[in-house]
Amino acid sequence: MPVEHFFVRSHLGTPSIERDQWKLTVEGKVRRPREWTWSQLKEMEQESRTVTLECAENLPGGSLVGNAQWRGVPLARLLEEAGVVEDAREAVLEGADRGLDELEMVPVTYARSLPLDEAMTAGTLVALEMNGQPLTPEHGFPARVIVPGWYGMAHVKWLTRVRVSAEPFRGFYMAKRYFTARRHPNTGEPVITPVTRMGVKSRIDSPVEGQTLSPGSHVVRGRAWAGCRTVERVEVSSDGGRSWTPARLQDTPAPCTWVRWSHTWEPPRTGAYALQVRAFDDRGETQPLQQDLGRINRYDNRWLHTVRCAVKH
C-alpha cells in the first residue's frame, strides 16, 4: 500500500526530530547500556518484512489497516549487544512524542512494553524504511518498531529509548488504553484482557455501503488478514449469512500479510442485499458473527463486515 494512502494514527501529534540529533538508547536491565545514532543503525545489516498493520480501534470495514514493506535492524540484535540480564521480562519502548492525552487531558509520553521473548523474536524490527523510503515524519521517522502480528499500538513510532525491565510496565497506554473488559457472568466483576495480537479479519472493498448495482454479474473484492497466522480461506454471503460461497484468493497467503480476494457474484434478482465476508486462518479460527455487546472498549473489532447494496434496473 503506498505510503500516501497508509493510515496515520498518532495519539499526541507528530514530534519534529532532527535525524542527526536523534539517538536510540537501550538501558535498564542490561549489562552494557548503549546508544546508536541513525547512521550507526543504517550501517548495520538490515532486514525487510512485509507486515500488515491494523489499529486495534479499527471497525469492520474501517480504513485503519495497511500493508507495507518495512526495513531495519532486528531489535534482538540491539538487545543482544546490550546484553539483557537474567531476570529481565519486558522491553519498554518509548516514543519521542509527549503531550496531553486526547480524552483525559493528562500529560503523557507514548510508551508500550513488549514481553521480552516478543522483543527478541526474529521478526521484530527497529524499522528505518517503509516501502523502500526513509519513514515519513507521520509514520515514525527516524525509527519505529514493527512487531509482526500485533495490533498497531505495539509498533511504537519515533522510538528513542528501549528500557529493559524486570517488572510489568503500567504506563498510560498500557493501563488506561488497549484492553477489553467484560463483566464476569457470575460475579459481575470486570475481567480485563490486554489487547495484543491481531486475529483473523476480512473486509469488502467493493461494492461499497449503499451502492446501487445494475443486474448481471459483479466482482466483489476485498482483503483478509490473520495477524501472523496465514489466511486459509475466505467466504462470501449475499443473503445475510445464511449461505456462504468460497472466494478466490488473489495472492499466495503468507504469515503477517493480508491477501486480496475476489468473488464473481450474480445477484439472482433485483432488490436489497447484505453482502458479508468471513475469513479462516490456518488453525480454522474465524471471526465472530456479531459485535460482543457485553464488552467494554471497542478494540479488536473482528465481527463480520456487512455491505448493504441494491440491485436495480
From the CB of 216, what's the least distance to ligand MTE, in Å? 38
Q: Does 55 bind ligand MTE (CB under 6 A)?
A: yes
> Site for ligand MTE (CB under 6 A): how many residues?
19
Residue 307 phi, psi (nearest 5)? -120, 120
Q: Which of 194, 171, 192, 196 is nearest to 183 (CA)?
A: 192
CA dist., res. 278 & res. 287, Å (int):
6
Is residue 65 near ligand MTE by the rule CB under 6 A?
Answer: no
Q: Does 156 bind ligand MTE (CB under 6 A)?
A: yes
Residue 9 binds ligand MTE (CB under 6 A): yes
The nearer residue to ligand MTE, 96 or 311, going by C-beta atoms, is 96
280 binds ligand MTE (CB under 6 A): no
CA angle, residues 57, 61, 62, in degrees to nearest 5: 40
**For ligand MTE, which stretch binds (CB under 6 A), given 4-12, 26-34, 78-86, 203-211?**
4-12
C-alpha cell at 68: 507495507
Query: Is position 128 an interface residue for ligand MTE (rule: CB under 6 A)?
Result: no
Neighbours of 291 (CB within 10 A): 14
Piece of the chain touching ligand MTE by CB under 6 A; list 1-9, 244-252, 254-262, 292-300: 1-9
Summarize the chain as % helix, strand, coil (round to 5).
10, 45, 45
Where along the sequence are the contacts to ligand MTE (CB under 6 A)? Answer: 6-12, 53, 55, 95, 97, 110, 139, 152-153, 155-158
